[in-house]
Structures are given as C-alpha cells and as structure tokens.
Amino acid sequence: MGMKKREQQRPHRTRTQRKIGLAILGARPAFAENLHVGRPNIGNRKALFRRFDEMLRRRWFTNDGPLAREFESRIAQYTGVKHCVAVCNATVALEIAIRALELRGEVILPSYTFIATAHALQWQEITPVFADMDPGTHNVSPAHIERLITPRTTGIIGVHIWGRACATFAIERIAKKHKLKVLYDAAHAFGCSNHGRMIGGFGSCEVFSFHATKFMNSFEGGAIVTNDEALSKKLRLMRNFGFSGPDRVIHLGTNGKMTEVCAAMGLTSLESIEELIALNYRNYVEYQNGIEGMPGISLIRYDAREKGNYQYIVAEVDPDVAPLNRDELVAVLQAENVLARKYFWPCCHRMEPYRSFYPSARLLLPETERVAARILILPTGQAISSRVIRRICMIIREACHSASLVRMKLRAC
C-alpha cells in the first residue's frame, strides 16, 4: 500500500480525544518511570511474610520442604493432574522432561517461542527442527509438523502461545501415527483450558513457568505436570541428583529443586489467582476499548468458551494498513517509557546457534516470519491502572495520527 493511502487511513480524533505531545517529537515522556511488560505481581504480602516466618522458624530452606510439597499438591489439584514436580525454573524443567522422555536425534517444535524451548534441546545435543505456525492461532502447525518428520525424529514439543492451546488432538494423532513422544511448553498457559480441560494433562507431560514475569509467579520457578506415575518418579529422581534416599543414588540427575522461599511466593500467588486473572481481563478489555477503530491495529482474540489467564496484551500491527508499523510504534512507546516488547522476535531460527545451523530456515517458515514482524506486547498486571492504559492508547492513537512526522523523526535518528 502506498504512503498516500496509508496516510488517508489515519485514525480521526473525536472531540473527547485531545491532542497530546509525543516524546519522540520532543515532548516530555508521558511516564516518569518505566512501564514493563512483565512487572511482577505480588499477591497478599501478609500471607507471604507469614510463610517466610514459618520457613525461618523451621530452618528448612530447600530439599523437598513442606512448602514445596504443598505447592506441588496445590498445582496438581488446580490443573486436575495426578503429579506435579516443582523445579527451580522452567528451562531446567524442560531439560529434565526431555531427558526423562529419552528424546534424542531430532525434535520438532515451533520457532515462534522463547529461545529456552530450543536451547533445552540443543543443550543436550538434540537437533531442534523448526515448524511453521498457524497464523490464526500463532501456535505450531500440525500439518507442517508432519511434513518435517524423518527417521531421526523422536518427539514433538508444542508451545501454548499466549495461553491459547495448541491443536493438541491433531498433534497427538500425528505422534501416535509415527510413534513419537509429545510434551508441551505451557509457560504461558497456567490457568488456561483446552476443550474444557485444564492445560497440564496433555501429552506425556507439560511444563509451567512461574518466573517473576508471569502473572502467577514464585520469584523464579517452574513445574512439570503429568498423569504418568512412572514418569513422575523418574522426574523426581532426576531433579535431585538421582537420590532415592540418604546416601543412595540410583539415577543420573541434576540439581533442579525448588527452594522454600520460591514455594512460599508460589503458594501466595496461587491464592490470588482468580483476582489476578480478573485484573488481567479488565486490562485486556480496557486496551481493547482504547485500540478499537485504529486502522491495522488489533488485539488477538481469546476463545470465550475456554478459561484464559489474559497475562499478555498482544497487539497485531498490519504494516499494509496501519499508519505506523510495529517497530515504529515500539520506538514511539519506548520514548514515553512504555517498554513495549516484540515477542518473539526475531524467532529462534534467526538467533544463534540456529541462524548458523539453518541459514535458509526463513524460507520454510513464511507465516512465522510474517507474524513475528507484526506482534507488539503491551504492559499489564498489577502495576498498570485503567488510567495508564488509556494514556498508552492515546499515545498510540496520536502517533498514528502524526505518522508522517514520527516517521520523519525516526529516519533522522
């Protein structure tokens, strides 16, 4: 679309939308402090400090303590699975799960994911094979997965991007047909459902992240959930050096245990989960109302029939329609101290070592390439108010209205 046509589609101001100065054009930034995409939620401080006091009184800080065991029990109950193995972080959880499932050779996964998903394989000398996405869901395409299967393929890792579930039934049909193992990176999907079932019970196992940036966090932490009892026993051995008891090691393992202080935060967050989800949903609706009518800019949709956590505000910017493209809007927002992000850009296949291993991968991943250049993540969570959200939307609207000036300034810089 030519420049003239794009300028014709600038959003019009209503009488209630006053003109604001933009920092990118020399005005003072709208916010004195940085607004982060994933600023941590805290939950009930009194409950958190009460748990800290109990932990200090017991002097039991790690090694499968009572808070960690309670956290595992509560996670299993909440997700409706039989077993939860809490670990120090989700990357270690992926590494342990991959090794416990005895994956080797090649494993198929999306390139549109956080780099840890691929690194967890490559770190163990397993070759990540990147599949393209379904542009409607941003999740991995089952049809492309099947085309990538070779005699060296041993497994599939699906990623529930933005908390919207993968096509689990299609993926698991493919896996059964080709005798492959399936696990899911559910780092985004705690508290979400798939066909009415809570995410956590799909595939051989699923991995959650409770990193500080997640809406429900344990400072730093993760968990592997499964309905397979034998697998859960193996996972427990592997996260604790292979110890089956004092002075008795029966399996190869590492140190992946969750500490008591992290479990205390996790339990406190879990007690506030419905409140946090309601807050995320309120923010999502506020952004939706603020962005409505802007040409070429829209928020992704969530299936109202499923439970969602709404922990990411994901906008898609169509460069052929929007007055400014995604990268230009990021520059505008960051000048205002709104630290919008470009998840997951430039995707795993464009990062090292994969960029060197597969220099032509982009030719096989056209939808991944296209979508990755359009996604804009905006701040949410407890640190953001409705007033702040309205201000962010006004900045985006004004930037689009002043697109020519903004683009001229960015080119000059």
Q: Confidence band (pLDDT; 50, 70, 90) for 19?
A: low
Tokens of 285: 């609706």
The DSSP call for residue 83 is E
Q: What is the helix (H) or strand (E) element at residue 84, kind and residue range?
A: strand 83-87
Indicate whether 137 pLDDT > 70: yes
Dmax (CA) of the chain: 75
Q: Is the pLDDT of residue 4 over 60?
A: no
Given a cut of 90, whether residue 6 has pLDDT beyond it is no
The domains found in the chain, sorted by start residue, are 3-30+273-412 (3.90.1150.10), 45-271 (3.40.640.10)
Question: How would residue 325 be classed by pLDDT, with cut points 50, 70 and 90?
Answer: very high
The angle formed by the CA atoms of residues 75, 44 and 236, to the nearest 5 degrees, is 25
Instruction: Judge if the upstream peptide bond of residue 344 is cis by omega within 30 degrees of 0.
Output: yes
Chain mean pLDDT for the chain = 95
7: pLDDT strictly greater than 60: no
Percentage above 90 pLDDT, the chain: 94
The model's pTM: 0.93
Whether 124 shows a pLDDT value over 70: the answer reads: yes
What single-letter amino acid sits at 271? E
Considering only CA atoms, which of 4, 13, 1 is closest in space to residue 294?
A: 13
Quote the CA–CA distance of 342 and 329 in Å, as a whole number.
11
112 close to 344: Cβ distance less than 8 angstroms: yes
Mean pLDDT, rounded, for 327-332: 98
The share of the chain scoring above pLDDT 70, in percent, equals 95
- At 1 the pLDDT is 44
- Minimal CA–CA distance to 47: which of 213, 266, 357? 266
Distance of CA 293 to the CA centre of its chain: 27
Is the separation of the CB atoms in 174 and 155 below 8 Å?
no
pLDDT in tens, 191-248: 999 999 999 999 999 999 999 999 999 999 999 999 999 999 999 999 999 999 999 9
SS3 assignment for 126-177: CEEEEECECCCCCCECHHHHHHHCCCCEEEEEEECHHHCCCCHHHHHHHHHH
Joined tokens for residue 194: 């798939």
Among 19-28, 158-167, 297-306, the minimum mean pLDDT is found in: 19-28
Split at pLDDT 50, 70, 90, the class of 413 is: confident
For 271-302, how does the pLDDT look when each residue is reduced to its tens digit (9 = 90+)? Answer: 999 999 999 999 999 999 999 999 999 999 99
pLDDT digits (tens, 9 = 90+) for 83-94: 999 999 999 999
Residue 63 DSSP class: S
Sheet of 313-317, strands arranged across: 297-299, 313-317, 375-378
Q: Tokens for 41, please give them.
A: 């939620």
Q: Is the pLDDT of residue 15 over 50?
A: no
Per-residue confidence band for 328, with pLDDT thresholds at 50, 70 and 90: very high
For 55-63, the CB contacts below 8 A with 24+ separation are 55/260, 55/261, 55/264, 60/260, 61/259, 61/260, 61/261, 62/257, 62/258, 62/259, 62/260, 63/240, 63/257
Residues whose CB falls within 8 Å of the CB of residue 334, separated by 6 or more in sequence, listed in order? 340
Does residue 5 register a pLDDT over 80?
no
